[in-house]
Amino acid sequence: MKVLRLDTSAQIGNSHSRALTARFIAGLGPDTEIVQRDLAKGIPLIGPDWFNASFTPADNRDNDQEQSLSASQELVEELQEADLLVIGLPIYNFGVPASLKLWIDQVCRANLTFKHTPEGSVGLLEGKRAVVIYVSGGTPFESDADFATDYLRYVLGFIGIKDVHFIKADAHMSDESSLPNAQVAADQLSKKIGFEDETALVS
């Protein structure tokens, strides 16, 4: 199984989302291939050159246009090659970190990760799974103040990833059980997914 790990926390050593993400992945088993992308280290903004290049047929792009899309192409390929997407999601001001939004803008590409049809948009990344590690100091998971969960679930479904699991460590600054419960949930889910992968390889 090939896993794409996305870290988005602006913190490094003290990040609960990074710690939980690492814990989950460690439980998947030794045969798991991990590609790690730390979005907090920087994701390019999209701009006019990016848009012009992305709407130019690939065979007609010049070198400058190819360069404008080079980061996007790399991010899309990482996603296309992954069997499982694991996202560390700290909640910043009730939403997703800016770095994750930039990644989403780079990978939502017409005719690469989704396509338009007369019946509506269709995701092109079917058959993949995602696990999202939701961590918040005060925002309860799926509450009226949580603008991240439904958004991320919708975006992933938009590109075809509809099998999405959430592990929550929400409102942990007021709930002492939140982080320990999330650790247990991470261990259980990673064991389950790792077992399913081993079973699939044997069969």
C-alpha neighbours within 13 Å on the C-beta side of residue 91: 28
**Range of 165's domain?**
2-202
The answer, yes or no, to whether residue 11 has pLDDT greater than 60, is: yes
The answer, yes or no, to whether residue 202 has pLDDT greater than 60, is: no
Please, are residues 30 and 93 in contact by the beta-carbon 8 Å criterion? no
Q: For 50-99, how does the pLDDT look when each residue is reduced to its tens digit (9 = 90+)?
A: 999 999 999 999 999 999 999 999 999 999 999 999 999 999 999 999 99
CA atoms of 102 and 75, how far apart (whole Å): 11
CA atoms of 203 and 201, how far apart (whole Å): 6
**Strand spans (E) along 14-61:** 33-38
DSSP code of residue 92: B
How many domains, the chain?
1
CATH number at residue 117: 3.40.50.360
Q: For 148-180, how does the pLDDT look when each residue is reduced to its tens digit (9 = 90+)?
A: 999 999 999 999 999 999 999 999 999 999 999
Please, are residues 10 and 97 in contact by the beta-carbon 8 Å criterion? yes
- The CB-based long-range contact list for 173-177 (8 Å cut-off, 24+ gap) reads 173/137, 173/138, 174/138
Q: For 109-128, how does the pLDDT look when each residue is reduced to its tens digit (9 = 90+)?
A: 999 999 999 999 999 999 99
Q: Which of 44, 43, 22 is nearest to 34 (CA)?
A: 22
Quote the pTM value.
Answer: 0.95
Confidence of residue 30 (pLDDT cuts 50, 70, 90): confident
Please, are residues 93 and 147 in contact by the beta-carbon 8 Å criterion? no
